[in-house]
């Protein structure tokens, strides 16, 4: 069986599995990293949003063979370790606004938010309504308003 290796949350991992298994299942079913959630497997709901080399991607839609040896994948479990302090500012903002309801979509929402804010900052602008329209993550509990408030608050500290 093909062997795959990459960096996951700062540590090198090795996996034996067929090339076409999507990264989401490698993370969840083989490596027992459960932060990224399944919500559709179609790159639609975005519940599995994680980072690859600092950018947001959807592990449900990437075969493991597309991941290169030096690629760094960060899931919600590893987000705090990318910054100083106990939590990432976006996680802090999430707590402050009491964003979550059931919590199922929230790892994906936070990972998407961090990437969107970085993208806006890299383009030299503040995050705004147009960016929110591009965040496709479903929150079936409907806590979108607090998600927006938290992103604005978190962005100020990033």
Partner 1 sequence: MTVSVRPGHNAPTGSDDSAPGTSRRRFLGFLVAGPTLVAASQIAVETANPTPAAANVPTGPEPGDLYDLGQLQVLATKVTSNLITVEVHKDGTVSFAVPRAEVGQGITTTMAMLIADEMDIPIHRVHVTLSKARPEFQFNQLTGGSNSVRSLYAPVRHAAAIARKRLVDTAAARWRVDASTLTVKDGVIHASDGRSATYGSLTKAAAASRPLPMTADLKPTDHLRLVGKSHNRIDAHEIVTGRKKFAMDHDVRGALPTMVCRPPTIKGTVKRVRNRAAVLKMPGITDVVTISTGVAVRGRTFGQCIDAVRALKVTWADGPVGHASDADIIAELHKNELPLAVPDISPLAKTIDLAFTFCFASNSPLETGTAIADVRAKSAEVWACLKAPIVAQQAIADRVGMPLEAVTVHVVQGGGSFGRHLFHDTALEAAEISKKMRKPVKLMWHRTDDFRQGRVHPMATSRIRVTVQGDNVLTYEQRHTSVSTDFGHGFGDLVSSFAGTLPGFNFIGLAQTVFELSQNMPYEYGLTDQVLNEVDMDFVTGSMRNIYSPDVATARELMTDRLAREMGLDPYKFRRKFLKDDRGIAVLDRLAKAGDWGRKMPHGTAQGIALHAEYKGFCATLVELDCRPRTVKRKIEDAYTGPRVTKAITVVDVGLPINPRGLEAQMMGGMMDGIAVALTSSLHLRNGHFLEGSWDNYWYTRQWNVPPKLKVIVMPQTTNQPGGAGELGVASAKAAVACAYARATGRMPTKFPVNHDEPLGFDPLPTTPSVPQSPTNGLDKIY
Give whole-number Cα distances, 43 to 12, 26, 50, 82, in Å. 26, 16, 12, 25
Residue 37 DSSP label: P
For partner 1, the closer of residues 125 and 140 by Cβ is 140
For partner 1, the closer of residues 83 and 146 by Cβ is 146
Min. distance of Cβ 12 from partner 1 in angstroms?
A: 20
Q: Say how far apart CA 144 and CA 125 lie, in whole Å.
A: 22
Min. distance of Cβ 115 from partner 1 in angstroms?
A: 6
Min. distance of Cβ 32 from partner 1 in angstroms?
A: 7
Min. distance of Cβ 121 from partner 1 in angstroms?
A: 13
For partner 1, the closer of residues 29 and 156 by Cβ is 29
Decide: helix, strand or coil at residue 4: strand
**Helices 106-122, 89-96: inter-axial angle, 10-degree rounding:** 120
Question: How far does Cα 62 stand from its chain's mean position?
Answer: 14
Question: How far does Cα 61 stand from its chain's mean position?
Answer: 13
Min. distance of Cβ 44 from partner 1 in angstroms?
A: 5
For partner 1, the closer of residues 5 and 41 by Cβ is 41
For partner 1, the closer of residues 5 and 44 by Cβ is 44
Do residues 90 and 99 touch, judged by C-beta distance below 8 A? no
């Amino acid at each position: 069986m093909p062997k795959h290796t990459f960096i996951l949350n700062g540590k090198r991992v090795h996996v034996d599995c067929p090339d076409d298994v999507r990264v989401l299942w490698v993370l969840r079913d083989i490596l027992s990293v459960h932060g990224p959630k399944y919500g559709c497997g179609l790159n639609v709901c975005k519940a599995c949003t994680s980072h690859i080399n600092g950018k947001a991607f959807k592990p449900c839609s990437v075969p493991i063979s597309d991941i290169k040896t030096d690629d760094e994948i960060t899931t919600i479990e590893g987000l705090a370790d990318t910054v100083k302090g106990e939590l990432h500012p976006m996680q802090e903002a999430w707590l402050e606004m009491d964003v979550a309801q059931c919590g199922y979509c929230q790892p994906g929402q936070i990972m998407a938010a961090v990437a969107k804010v970085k993208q806006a900052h890299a383009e030299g602008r503040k995050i705004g309504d147009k960016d929110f329209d591009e965040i496709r993550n479903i929150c079936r509990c409907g806590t979108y308003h607090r998600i927006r408030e938290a992103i604005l608050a978190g962005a100020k500290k990033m």
